[in-house]
Amino acid sequence: MDLFSAIDTEPVRQRMEQLAAELDRLNYEYYMNDRSLVSDQEFDRMMRELQDLEQQYPELASPLSPTKRVGGEVNKSFRSVEHRFPMLSLGNTYSIEEIEDFEARTRRILNSQFSILNSQFSYTCELKYDGVAIGLTYRHGKLVQAVTRGNGTTGDDITTNAKTIPTIPLQLRGDYPDDFEARGEVVYPFEAFEAMNRQREADGDEPFANPRNAASGSLKLQDSAECAKRKLLFCMYFMMAPDGVPLPQTHYGRLEYARQMGFKVQPYIQECKDINEIKAFIDHWDHARWNLPFGIDGIVIKVNQTPLWDRLGLTAKSPRWAIAYKFKAERVSTPLESISYQVGRTGVITPVANLRPVWLGGTTVRRATLVNADFIRKMDICLGDSLLIEKGGEIIPKVVGVDLEKRQPGAMPVQYVERCPECGTPLVRVEGEAGHYCPNCDGCHPQIIGRLEHFVSRKAMNIDSLGPERLELLYQAGLVHNVADLYDLRREQLIGLGSDATIQDRSADNLLEAINASKQVPFERVVFALGIRYVGEVGAKKLARYFGSMDALMDATVEELALVEDVGEVTARAVSEWFANPDHRALVHRLRQAGLQFVGQWQQASGRLEGMTLVVSGTFEHFSREEIKADIERHGGKVSGSISGKTTFLVAGDKMGPEKLKKAEKLGVRILSEAEYMDLVR
């Protein structure tokens, strides 16, 4: 029977191998050589054919198939892995004088201690990528593991997600060592990053702050198909192997060797013979970096001859044969053309500088926040000024000063607006607060839409079918003016809505199902979803658990509210005033009628941790991080994010942060394993 099965599937196996080989070739030409040999439609057709065959004949599917590039596997935990070779960090400097000292010291050690002449060694200069460092292990030409840097000793296994990055070879080409590790940086190209942020904003999600953080988060996505959509790039910069495995004897040669194996080695690397050539390379890229399609934050200088690395040795934290020069944040001056004032969901006004477009940090900057009235006064910003804009490691530009050399005679200081730019209501400023706000919370359009967006957000009611555009559509159609209106929506009202009738039968059903499902959201998240000023996620949880029901919370006095842990007088007064408003009480009544959870299900299990403060670090076998924190609270303990003299215990799981361990030991804080914690509370 096995013989007949093998004969029957042989043509299928051959076709799968043919498709895989052709797709690998096309991928290589596209990502390594920037050559597109077939249309996107033809490439997708071949990929779908291979996917269909692998689904039909899973026993014939290769673990290195090109279909792994599109993801689909789900990884719910990223196990900790110990690095074969520690991933050391480099010494950093912003000073060109320290680079001169590094080069002179290296030359002196090699000349005097080892009698190595200047002509016998050189340096390599390459880009310092602004991304996430990972190590890739290859055996017999196949990728077997991908691990994040972590703390340098251990990292997280991200192999499933790494396979979705097109510039990480799954199978090497030509000649290659049987066992070695390739190291490099995963970066988020600017174009792909901005496209992803535009999509996130359209979906109602917070945009990513910068490409580096986005790349890091992408590598930890549980669904590898989502990681594949991010279009990440792997830039290789290092190659190492166990003793006995032959490698080229120069760093430059190793990277060229890796290029021949199929790695995308960036061409921006140069062999330099002395400090003058090193400084020329740094100077060039300090200006040319903005023309790159991805972010860099400096230059890495290494001794090129790898046998010299052992002679130069290591310090406690970094190698003596390499150093990183980091670029200073770029600063430009550009005219302030006008100031607009944005209204947030709580009514807080944020002034925004509208600038004459200027190129900065790889993007065109047109706007930058001016924070509040105090910031404008402190900066002494006048009408017609040119502002100094900086962008360091972050994508978001910031105003750092006024270019006083360009100030016009008689320039008048900026006068902060006195009325809401949206509804015309006089602005209010609470004593002790920096910002102004519009008190017309129920009649100011941005506040209404902002509260709706907050109410449906993931940490609140989690109605994921309602993004900003759809909420605006419902508002403009007169169907939704407050959060309670969402629960009165009917199918016939929704179908055909939009200028192009975007809501049809299925999407209407999905929307109503999501709204109905939100009725099961726990009481503490309902409190958060109300959007009461100063009440964040943690505060809502503590209020809900203290009072236990919406009725008790609504009727609490300011004094009673202030008794809740971490709820100060300002927050207590805001909660009391919010519930004292007759319109808000009517809103709560409608939400009650709709069936939302108005009674807490949380119960304290014991008082064993009463009066104790615990810090949680690492990953656990029987709990998620959130579950163990909730368990601590259920037993009467308080959870803190940082270790101090008030910390009772540090509950330590796998991959615990080394800094927390160090601080706990220094302060004499007792460290509990997961098993010891469970014994303590049970």
Q: Which tokens sit at 13?
A: 């196996």
Distance CA 604, CA 620 (A): 22
Cα-trace Rg, the chain: 30
Sign of the torsion angle spanned by Cα atoms 639, 641, 645, 647 = positive
CB 351 within 8 A of CB 415: no
Active site residue 128: yes
How buried is residue 616: exposed, middle or buried, by Cβ count under 10 Å (0-12/13-18/19+)?
buried
Distance CA 81, CA 157 (A): 6
CA 212 to centroid of chain Cα atoms? 7
CB 300 within 8 A of CB 324: yes
CA 223 to centroid of chain Cα atoms? 16
Identified catalytic residue from 68, 128, 264, 541: 128
- Cα atoms in the 13 Å half-sphere on the side-chain side of 379: 24
Left (φ > 0), alpha (ψ -120 to 50) or beta: where does 478 sit? left
Q: Which tokens sit at 485?
A: 């209106």
Give the number of other CB atoms < 10 A from CB of residue 140.
Answer: 11
Count of positions (residues) in the chain? 682
Left (φ > 0), alpha (ψ -120 to 50) or beta: where does 655 sit? left
Distance CA 534, CA 550 (A): 18
H or E element that contains 347: none
DSSP-derived 3-state class of residue 306: coil
DSSP one-letter string for 620-664: -SS--HHHHHHHHHHTT-EEESS--TT--EEEE-BT--HHHHHHH
Helix, strand, coil: what percent of the chain each, to 5? Answer: 40, 20, 40
DSSP-derived 3-state class of residue 329: coil
How buried is residue 369: exposed, middle or buried, by Cβ count under 10 Å (0-12/13-18/19+)?
middle
Long-range contacts of 426-431, Cβ-Cβ distance < 8 Å, separation of 24 or more: 427/349, 429/373
Q: How far is CA 60 from CA 35, 56, 144, 598, 627, in A?
A: 30, 9, 19, 54, 41
The residues that are catalytic are: 128
